[in-house]
Amino acid sequence: MTNNNILVVVEDYNTGWGEEFEKIKRFLQTNNVLKRQQIEHVGSTSVVGLAAKPIIDIDIIVKLEEKRRVLEILCAMGYTHLGDLGITGREAFRLELRSDLMKHNLYLCEEGSLAVKNHLNWRNYLRSSEKVRAEYAELKKALAKRYYNDIEAYCSAKTEFITQGLAKFLPDSDLADIRKQNMK
């Protein structure tokens, strides 16, 4: 469900991204059920100092038995359910642009799923290593210039760098799944 004609823009880190995440989180938590869920800022905008596409990535992490209820709540709040987009254990959502909320990707993730492990381990690794963060920023900027109008190629081209970093945290079978999911 991706669009190869999406313009890929990577910007230097913006100190406002953390505040924008908090604003979206507060919006989500206007629902009492979502107040009880783990809501994580993931992706490059969650890493201080890292260049990123100016789109906030958010994981709502739920127990399997709560997934259907939270999915229904998100739809009632105006989110469009996009399905799993080929990632097991993760459901994607889009919210039409609102003037009060920054553009964001929202994911409903099952607790313990590979999607959660991938997002949290990668974010935490980037937060902990200035060297890796700088290398990744350089790679992202170069790939954004090369694949400026092909988001799928941009994402695929980052996969090997990401899986090399994740190899410190995840078994080979999980890394193979991540490569398969991202190299479409």
> Which of 24, 2, 19 has the alpha carbon at shortest distance from 86?
2
pLDDT at 6: 75
Confidence of residue 184 (pLDDT cuts 50, 70, 90): low
What confidence tens digit (pLDDT) does each residue in 130-141 have? 999 999 999 999
What confidence tens digit (pLDDT) does each residue in 47-97 have? 999 999 999 999 999 999 999 999 999 999 999 999 999 999 999 999 987
- pTM to 2 decimal places: 0.92
In the sheet with 56-62, reading across from the earlier edge strand, the strands are: 38-42, 56-62, 104-110, 90-95, 79-83
